Amino acid sequence: MNILHISGVLKWGGGENHIQNLCFELAQSNPEVNNIILCVDGGQFHQKLTRLKIKFFTARRRRRIDFNFISTIIKLCKQESIDLIHLHDPTAMQLTIIADHFSSLPPFVLSRKISYPIRRNFLTLYKYNYKKIKKYLCVSDETRRTLEVGVKDKSKAITVYHGTRIDNKSDVTPFKLREKLGIAEDIKIVGNIANHYPAKDLFTYVRTINRLINEHGRKDVHFVQIGSPADKTPEIMALVKAYNLEAYVSFLGFTEDASNFIPQFDIGFMSSKLEGIAQFLYECFYHRVPIVTTNAGGAAEIIKQGETGFIADKGDDEALARHLVYVLDHPEESKVITENGNKLLYSQFITPVMAQKTLAVYREIIADETVGSKT
């Protein structure tokens, strides 16, 4: 079984982490599955793959529709005798559909990793309902529900939680946050890992910090934000300055193996308005770090209020600040909650479970294609 995974993005994110984890797990459990990755030449995923034992190829993508990338898809399908293509983002989907118009390709599986509605225009609906897409693997039930609004054959959409890989967890970091940032031992570190995309809603993040520091008067915290800057970063920084929060929040930018810093967090905090399910939640479960988050995407499917974490409506900085105050003031209760989250993680949300569910889909599609070709 030869599977081609296609990533069309430049930066490292949850989708690329999913590809890496899926390929690793299948290599361990099912070595008969030959996973091959195609990613953007020179991107962060390319850099990461050079250090991993996963077969990969790269292609140039200097514009959204780059025929170098398209021709590479066609070449690899023939060269590697690909049985099925796993698409991991909308750009990969678009480029592969174009490639299929030039050379008939194997069937597709599309991973859907974020819970925003599909645009109701002709081209978008055409892509998401493309005949070669045999299954949509949605990262949460909420992601599946939003996808189903735009696809005709809803039976193709299934939920496969990504979970997290547990064999490679580490707390090794190039520096200690307290030492690098001069954070005293009696100050609690509230950590966030998110690229500065609109979906992560770092404006609500900053407004929550303002509530906590300037309204609740909590000076016993320091917020650490790890993630790549983007177009809105200057506006985010301007808001920090407007609220006089510079002494209470540090932005570290892109940091290699960012999740290794989570054991140094006293609290994990997310403010997203659009998600599938963020890996950050699973990582906090693993490291037994209490989590405060919004109900973006499938977060409410794993965060049960006061049982496995604390959750507020998207954009509700007032409720998020209250939850942070509660966690700060109830450390013993937080220990129980983090144990609950850790147990839930191991029961349902680890990558071996995800890999086997995904493999079952691969086998079903390839078997159907084989039967169809014989009739």
8 A C-beta contact, residue 309 and residue 293: yes
Q: What is the CA radius of gyration of the chain?
A: 21
Residues 274 and 312 in one domain: yes
pLDDT of residue 260: 96
Residue 154 is given by DSSP the state: G
Whether 171 is in a domain gets the answer no
Supply the pLDDT for residue 373.
Answer: 64
Q: Residue 225 falls within a domain, yes or no?
A: yes
**Count of domains observed in the chain:** 2
Is 52 within a domain? yes
pLDDT of residue 118: 87
User: Which residue, 158, 103, 108, 160, is CA-closest to 129?
Assistant: 108
Domain presence at residue 8: yes
Alpha carbon of residue 64 to chain centroid: 21
The answer to whether residues 158 and 183 belong to one domain is no
Residue 147 belongs to some domain of the structure: yes
Q: Classify residue 170: in a domain, yes or no.
A: no
Domain limits for position 49 = 2-163+350-374
C-alpha 220/C-alpha 276 separation (Å) is 32
Judgement on whether residues 63 and 102 belong to the same structural domain of the protein: yes
What is the pTM for the complete model shown? Answer: 0.82
Q: What does the pLDDT read at residue 10?
A: 86
Residue 213 lies in a domain: yes
pLDDT recorded at residue 328: 97
The CATH number of residue 332's host domain is 3.40.50.2000
Angle between helices 317-329 and 331-348 (to 10 degrees): 110
Verify that 205 and 150 share a domain, yes or no. Answer: no
What is the per-residue pLDDT for 330? 96
Q: Let me know whether 206 and 308 are in one domain.
A: yes
Query: 126 and 184 share a domain?
Result: no
Q: Which residues of the chain have pLDDT under 50?
A: none
| Burial annotation 209-233 (CB, 10 A radius, 16+ → b, else e) | bbbbbeeeebeebbbbbbbbeeeeb
Q: What is the pLDDT of residue 374?
A: 63
Residue 169 is assigned to a structural domain of this protein: no
> Are 104 and 239 within one domain?
no
Q: Are residues 182 and 60 in the same domain?
A: no
For the stretch 350-372, pLDDT in tens is: 999 999 999 999 999 999 887 76
Helix residue spans in 149-289 (DSSP H): 177-181, 202-210, 233-242, 279-287
At residue 158, the pLDDT reads 97
Asked if residue 145 and residue 221 are part of one domain, the reply reads no
